[in-house]
Structure 1
């Protein structure tokens, strides 16, 4: 009898664990205090500890890599290369004595777990630049390498490594070792441009072009170039130079032979944030900032749009369009350039500089959506929505849908009933796709004063969600269910690190200007207007992009984005459970909890991989738990 009771107790305990899933699927004791956790685009959790970096793949029992070579690293010393499995680790770069003291770099492939470059292993004493070039899958390093003769050990050098096989492709000196004469500064000032047959290096002496064997091809006196991009033929190269005060950008154009293709460089006000080479000319968006300067002579905080002649660099537009704010959306179309301003307003300009809209379209601030629809361009801002004719700018709906300014606006298209549904300020509006007639469809009241930030059609019903609330309405607006899960804490800041892993940001910052330009020439234009409700397009784009690179780690990442996301049918919510704070997995269609994970921590630090369905939780100062959701 006692044995039977024991068996029942064990059986019940197993049921509780199966339902509550309090026992982690994997436990990782890292042996050092955890400082930061980063969930990568490849699904590996990279943890910064007091000893270095650790990579955690929930499919393996032990960390996929441990990198303690450089000791403790700050966030500024760890760069996650966008759309790749690579981390560039730096030390000494920010030192005031950089160039005198030793600088170190390493490149880690967090998917394979391999350290594929370590400057110390290859005897690099100083590193000027360390850049990964995609989709070539190459690493370009410049600096001082302590190998060879005494003269060679003092001469700046460039090396190109193949990241797939971890082998050196080629290297060369930027100056002749042991050259007699006045000392010249050959430090590399920007990102080198790797082309099919040669490499262009921006240095303090100017641009230097070398063949892959190190043969001198040509030099120019163009100095201070930060980044470069070529056209598809690799015969025309554009170089971008930020002026000394950092407020303007000079654009240079040269040929593959190094000769200037423009008589003079072209200056644009502000820092270039978007750039595209088109058959009709060169489209440039630059952002101006007064830097807090209160002087009446200071620059306005706004964007400028210029369209330059590819042959001369002259502005093809007699009068640049007024923006009166920062360009939030920028799309290239067959007949011209369409743009939306963060402070409100949409306009379209032909390649000849003519306004295609009868007049600039006035909109609310923060344009959350600009997309193609069968009826025209649909836009949704924090305070209004409408569809307009993309040729003329005329309103398709008689008047825009207006609502109280809302930080969160959710929308979807109900194809079965041919209507748009927009949730804002506690109300769902239904807009007939043909007539544009709008009406209040249903009222929505979420607990904790939340607003829906997610909306989708599911089996003819309407699904809405926020951080702590989930709701389903039928096609007539009647509530099917409303589930609310109380937030763990209403006071103070809870260090929550969860969120959907973004494949690529839609807004390009100056820090990524080079990568943005590279992506546009190598992967195709990034300035295409998407179709409304085009679910999965970004994931497919990422999967195809990763698959195009001949490397096993990229193939693994491609398969990850081809898989069905774990959040397709479930919502993950952090809430206060009976036994403490925990995460619940809730079915979107029924509102029922499929799994609970009790964390017993009032302020948990965690990441949720919403693609693979994995919870990473910092269990204590040096331990990570991984749960399969």
Structure 2
């Protein structure tokens, strides 16, 4: 009996040890493909458009390429950085780092600026290396691939350290192209404020600097060409010939924007500037005139005299600045979509509504089109303009605004609506309100194809046509239907808690967001010479076209890093056949890789904690996971 008791006791102890060891293993993440010990506490992780992870630590910034064994760059020159001190320039491989008071007056705290190429892992500019005591502005200019710096630079020469200066650096070579002072060092007289008020405009043979004294034009040799008295300009745009320049001057409270037009010799071409209400958010130079969109805001005021929260659309005569439209179209909300068409301007309002105006101010639609709020999609189709909102969808004739479908699809307000075009069956498929609706492209007949009831009351946010059926997915659900609407499989993985979700950006979404980022970058950069129009209506469901557009824009800029970005967006997503879902596995929280066609789990990665911090690059096929305060794991998801 005693021997049997000892055996049972030993067996129980062995079971306890096994359970304990299993528990210990559950607290450990799966063996990663790469491990990066950053040596300092990690405060934030950012997955860039180039697939490089940039981690902000207590020491600075670290760049991680998951294909390399060690970080590709470590920038600790300025120490710990606040989130607002790190600016990822949209649609580029560049980061602008800023630290110190943003002062425009000499003698105050020192300011620091740096520009990093996160793809090459190189510091392109560091204000400390070039003895800049203060940096007022730091702008990356595309497509010229230049860095423009304004500020105060230390000098051995008397007075020079106290005079504002401009310097232009070439990003590819890393060398300074030219520099010049904004005022004459040692000039005797009343002090003048030459602080830079906005983004400089770099032209082929000159550079225009907006200052508190006016716009200053300098040659690339540093010789002054002309100066205007137009003060406080925020940004400028030149036409294709660079003979006509538009300068935008915002008021301090943002209530109005003044638009000035000057020639390449500095002559004011309009008798008076043109004032538009609100802040200009879109501006397009067209053969017929100037399209301007400005956003007004009441600023939180309840006064009856305060501005309405809405956009204004104006169309100006390029020669005089006068409004070409007798009556501006009513928006009753903010312009969410804005497209230049052959015969006029097409726009959609966030609060609902679509309209089209000819260049001479005539309404082209028979009447403004009423739609639901939040227009998620406006795009070309062979049948006309498709629109999808959070409440309805339809296709309309782009010339008249007439409905192609007998009546719009109506559904309950949804946070996301998934849709696609089934080419083999010539139909549009839209998933909303717990079902999939099929719309015959030829007749416009609507039918219910199948129910779509995802667990946790999720709305599908992705739909795509696969060889063997129709694929739908959300954060925690995946489903594949055959083309008759019969469900092949439905896979559901319970969320470990909404607060634990990392930022997963799918390959298709990444393409769309990148194209948009490039567009917004060029628009916001206000140095759009050579970048082309950013207000083109896309084709519905043509992600390949958007990816090519982004890739072409990247390839149009001469540098190894932009060439890398171009190739990345020409390549097929490394994980196009898989979906990644964060869920609770048997041994703890982890990520599952699920095959879209079969619904089978191809890979599980057990993560260490209940609320993991991670980023997934589906385009490149890598998972970045913050294993502890100082360590990042990288997993190759394509295996």
TM-score by length of 1: 0.94
| 1:494 Cα deviation from its structure 2 partner | 2.2
The whole-number CA distance in structure 1 between the counterparts of 2:613 and 2:412 is: 34
Secondary structure of 2:108's match?
A: coil
List 4+ stretches of structure 1 deviating above 3 A. Answer: 93-99, 500-514, 516-519
417-426 vs 539-548, which deviates more?
A: 539-548
Which of 384, 402, 405 is equivalent to 2:413? 405
Distance 1:98 1:219 in 2: 23
Cα distance in 2 for partners of 1:527, 1:503 equals 15
Please name the residue that 1:166 is paired with.
174
Q: Which residue of 2 aligns with 1:243?
A: 251
Name 1:474's counterpart in structure 2. 482
Matches within 5 A, 1:222-621: 222-489=230-497, 493-494=499-500, 496-500=502-506, 501=510, 504=513, 515=524, 517-519=526-528, 521-621=529-629
Q: What is the distance in 1 between the residues matched to 2:311 and 2:288?
A: 21
Shift in alpha-carbon separation, 1:318–1:154, aligned structure 2, 3 A: same
Aligned 8 A contact 1:344 1:365 in 2: yes
Q: Tell me the alpha carbon deviations over residues 126-157 of structure 1, each in whole angstroms, 9 at most, x when there is no partner.
A: 11110000111100001110024111111111
* 1:3 aligned residue: none
**For 1:174-197, what per-residue CA distance to the aligned partner results, in whole angstroms no more than 9, with x for missing partners?**
111111111111111100000000
User: What residue is the counterpart of 1:62 in the other structure?
Assistant: 70
Work out the CA distance in 2 between the residues paired with 1:582 and 1:287. Answer: 44
3-state SS of paired residue (1:306): strand
CA contact (8 A) 1:455 1:463 kept: yes
| C-alpha deviation, 1:515, in angstroms | 2.7
Counterpart of 1:34?
42
SS of alignment partner, residue 571 of structure 1: strand
Look up the match of 1:116.
Answer: 124
User: What are the superposed Cα offsets for residues 33-58 of structure 1, whole Å, 9 maximum, x if unpaired?
Assistant: 00010011111100000011000111
Q: 1:551 to 1:416 in 2, by over 3 A?
A: same
Contiguous gaps of at least 5 residues in structure 1: 1-16
Residue correspondences, number: 608
Given the alignment, which residue of 49, 61, 86 partners 1:53?
61
Give distance in 2, aligned partners of 1:627 and 1:208.
52
- Whole-angstrom distance in 2 between the partners of 1:433 and 1:460: 21
Check 1:605–1:537 CA distance in 2 against 1; reply closer, same or farther (3 A cut).
Answer: same
Match of 2:81 among 73, 87, 106: 73
Partner Cα distance (1:28, 1:94) in 2: 34
Indicate if the aligned counterparts of 2:101 and 2:109 stay in contact, CA closer than 8 A.
no
Deviation, structure 1 residue 369: 0.8
Deviation at 1:291, TM superposition (A): 1.1
For the 8 Å contact 1:273–1:508, the answer to whether it is kept is no
Q: How far apart are residue 499 of structure 1 and its match?
A: 2.1
Deviations 1:361-393 (A, max 9, x none): 001111111111111111111111111111111
Q: What SS class does the counterpart of residue 90 from structure 2 fall into?
A: coil
CA distance in 2, matches of 1:97, 1:170: 23
Residue 625 of structure 1, CA deviation: 0.2
- CA distance in structure 1 between the aligned counterparts of 2:504 and 2:527, rounded to whole angstroms: 30
1:397-417 Cα shifts (integer Å, max 9, x gaps): 111111111111111111111
| 1:184 to 2:208 alignment | no
1:414-461 superposed Cα distances (whole Å, 9 cap, x missing partner): 111111110001011111111111111111111111111100111151
Structure 2: how far apart are the matches of 1:574 and 1:96? 48
Q: 1:568 deviation in Å?
A: 1.5
SS in 2 for 1:477: coil
Helix, strand or coil for the counterpart of 2:234?
strand
**Distance in 2, Cα, partners of 1:141 & 1:462:** 52
3-state secondary structure, aligned to 1:498:
strand
Q: CA deviation at 1:518?
A: 3.5
Question: TM (normalized to structure 2)?
Answer: 0.92
- Secondary structure, aligned partner of 1:107: strand
Distance, in Å, in 2 between the alignment partners of 1:462 and 1:295 is 52
- Segment of structure 1 superposing worse, 130-139 or 592-601: 592-601
3-state DSSP class of the match of 1:536? helix
> What does residue 114 of structure 2 align with?
106
Counterparts in 2 of 1:202-221, with a 5 A limit? 202-221=210-229
Residue in 2 that maps onto 1:13: none
Distance 1:503 1:380 in 2: 16
Give the distance between the partners of 1:157 and 1:27, measured in 2 at CA: 44
Residues of 2 paired with 1:252 and 1:196: CA distance? 21
- Tell me if the contact between 1:308 and 1:316 (Cα under 8 Å) persists in the aligned partners: yes
**For the structure 1 residues 100 and 391, does the alpha-carbon distance in structure 2 shift closer, same or farther, using more than 3 Å as the test?**
same
SS of residue in 1 equivalent to 2:543 = coil
| Distance (Å, rounded) in 1 between the aligned partners of 2:68 and 2:293 | 45
Partners of 1:433 and 1:232 in 2: CA distance: 41
Q: Contact (CA 8 Å) 1:192, 1:227: kept in 2 or not?
A: yes
Structure 1 511/350 Cα, relative in aligned 2: closer, same or farther at 3 Å?
closer
1:579-628 deviations in Å (ceiling 9; x for gaps) = 11111111111111111110031100000001101000000001000000
The two structures, once aligned, show a CA RMSD in angstroms of 1.9
Q: Would the aligned equivalents of 2:30 and 2:606 in 1 still touch at CA under 8 Å?
A: yes
Contact 1:585 1:595 in 2 (8 A): yes
C-alpha separation in 1, matches of 2:282 and 2:484: 44
CA contact (8 A) 1:22 1:599 kept: yes
Equivalent residue of 2:567, what SS? helix
Aligned partners of 1:252 and 1:93: how far apart in 2?
Answer: 31
